[in-house]
């Protein structure tokens, strides 16, 4: 099934890459965009994935947000993660397809059609990039690169995010903001970057990457417990448990001990 999923996501990527004209509109705030390519690609993926597993549930960002099924299979799809990048011709995007089985993460694939990089994993079978096994780094905090963002779509959370950056910057190597959570989490899985924090991600941003990351030996939590595949939540991830704890402690302190429920929508 993973090979079939990889084939579908590659074909969907070719369609996105070859899109010459697209329209752009915002989704409530001027920073949060959707293009006609996002909508077209979600439609394409929905058709292909539902025919790959008949009877499965399809949860997607652009109009298909339904609850995760507690039994059977649920796809969780972001047709373009990094829509702002896409809309400006910045070649950093991820097409993200996660699959849950009985509500638990089971399989994931993330594809950047501009670089051709395809990250994929199935629970218990390891993580791969373009077919080759990948693993998180073993860097200590002082050598870690943090990927993060300052909550462009909900700027009321930005001051806390900046405080987290301010506290992390002196104790780690450096900070990156690439503009696609799915790809950033896969870069953590392959050992290119080492720690990750966003105060509010949606399940389609991290579902696929969560399988890839855990199969690559990394760890991911929300503010006080596991990430939530049905609602927006905080995502904290790392190469090692000790780095996860250090980052999580800073996040908890700067956000006054609020739980992920405070950031739900
Ligand atoms: C966004 C990207 C971005 C992250 C945002 C996400 P979108 O997804 O992953 O890097 O900072 O939190 O919402 O809107 O481009 O699909
Ligand atoms: Ca996204
Ligand atoms: Ca998206």
* 0.75 surpassed by pTM: yes
CATH fold match for the domains 2-134 and 141-255: no
Among 24, 30, 81, 232, residue to substitute to test ligand 1 (most atoms within 8 Å of Cβ): 81
Domain covering 2-134 assigned CATH 3.30.540.10 in the classification: yes
pLDDT digit string (tens) for the chain, length 265 residues: 999 999 999 999 999 999 989 998 998 889 988 999 999 999 999 999 999 999 999 999 998 899 999 999 999 999 999 999 999 999 999 999 999 999 999 999 999 999 999 999 999 999 999 999 999 999 999 999 999 999 999 899 999 999 999 999 999 999 999 999 999 999 999 999 999 999 999 999 999 999 999 999 999 999 879 999 999 999 999 999 999 999 999 999 999 866 555 655 5
Among 76, 180, 235, residue to substitute to test ligand 1 (most atoms within 8 Å of Cβ): 180
Domain ranges of the chain: 2-134, 141-255
Query: Among 3.40.190.80, 1.10.260.40, 1.10.10.10, 3.50.50.60, what is the CATH number of 141-255?
Result: 3.40.190.80
Helix axes 203-215, 181-189, angle to 10 degrees: 10
């Amino acid at each position: 099934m993973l090979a079939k999923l990889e084939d579908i996501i590659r074909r969907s990527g070719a369609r996105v890459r070859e899109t010459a004209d697209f329209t752009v509109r915002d989704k409530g705030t001027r920073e949060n965009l959707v293009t006609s390519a996002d909508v077209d690609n979600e439609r394409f993926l929905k058709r292909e994935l539902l025919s790959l597993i008949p009877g499965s549930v399809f949860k997607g960002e652009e109009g298909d947000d339904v609850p995760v099924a507690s039994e059977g299979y649920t796809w969780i799809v972001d047709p373009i993660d990094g829509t702002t990048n896409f809309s400006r011709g910045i070649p950093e995007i991820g097409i993200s397809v996660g699959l849950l089985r009985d509500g638990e993460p089971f399989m994931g694939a993330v594809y950047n059609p501009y670089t051709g990089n395809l990250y994929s994993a199935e629970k218990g079978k390891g993580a791969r990039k373009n077919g080759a096994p990948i693993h998180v780094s073993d860097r200590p905090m002082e050598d870690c690169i943090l990927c993060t963002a300052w909550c462009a779509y909900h700027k009321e959370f930005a001051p806390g995010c900046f405080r987290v950056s301010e506290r992390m910057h002196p104790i780690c190597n450096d900070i990156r903001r690439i503009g696609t959570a799915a790809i950033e989490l896969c870069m953590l899985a392959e050992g290119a970057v080492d720690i990750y924090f966003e105060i509010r991600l949606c399940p389609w941003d991290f579902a696929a990457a969560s399988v890839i990351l855990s199969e690559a030996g990394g760890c991911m939590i929300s503010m006080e417990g596991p990430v939530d595949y049905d609602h927006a939540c905080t995502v904290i991830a790392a190469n090692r448990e000790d780095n996860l704890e250090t980052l999580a402690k800073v996040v908890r302190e700067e956000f006054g001990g609020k739980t992920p429920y405070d950031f739900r929508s």
